[in-house]
Amino acid sequence: MRHHSALGLFVDFDPQLLGHHMSTQLWLTVAPAHLRNVGETLATHPEIAAAVTGPANLVANGIFRIPANLYANIDQDLSALPGTHSIDTAPTLREVKRLATPFLLHARGPSSDRTRR
């Protein structure tokens, strides 16, 4: 089934367990002629989890260790991509729900600080 793309496997985890404390959405406005190149380049960035078309014509979800890493990624990498006209960001200040959250809370046990929120 996996060979024929009828079944896909996805991993959802709490990025903070790996030291990544900043999650953000990025909206990029890219010239149509450069959309493929920018999208393929985004796919090579380890901080970028997914990219799909959307209101700005390219939307990405990034996870960074600290805000300075987000800024460096935008300043040094994304802004240098040909055809990129603008980049809007929306940092996640508080995450209320994740797909894996119930499993992780159960795995950490009742004494975890996270279970008390």
Q: pLDDT digit of tens for each residue in the chain (117 aa)? A: 778 777 776 667 677 787 878 888 888 888 888 988 988 898 888 888 666 666 778 888 888 999 999 999 999 988 899 998 889 888 888 776 666 544 444 455 544 444 444
Cα–Cα separations (whole angstroms), residue 12 to 46, 57, 76: 15, 25, 28
Which two structure tokens, joined as six digits, stand for 13? 């985890």
Which two structure tokens, joined as six digits, stand for 81? 């991509």
Instruction: Give kind and range of the element (H or E) at residue 101.
Output: helix 101-108
Residues sharing a CB contact under 8 Å with residue 41, sequence separation 6 or more, in sequence order: 81
Catalogue all structural domains in the chain, each as residue range(s) with its CATH number: 16-91 (3.30.70.920)
pTM here is: 0.52
Contact 100, 90 (CB under 8 A): no
Cα Rg of the chain, angstroms: 17
SS3 44: helix
Contact 73, 62 (CB under 8 A): yes
Spatial CA neighbour of 94 closest among 25, 23, 26, 27: 23
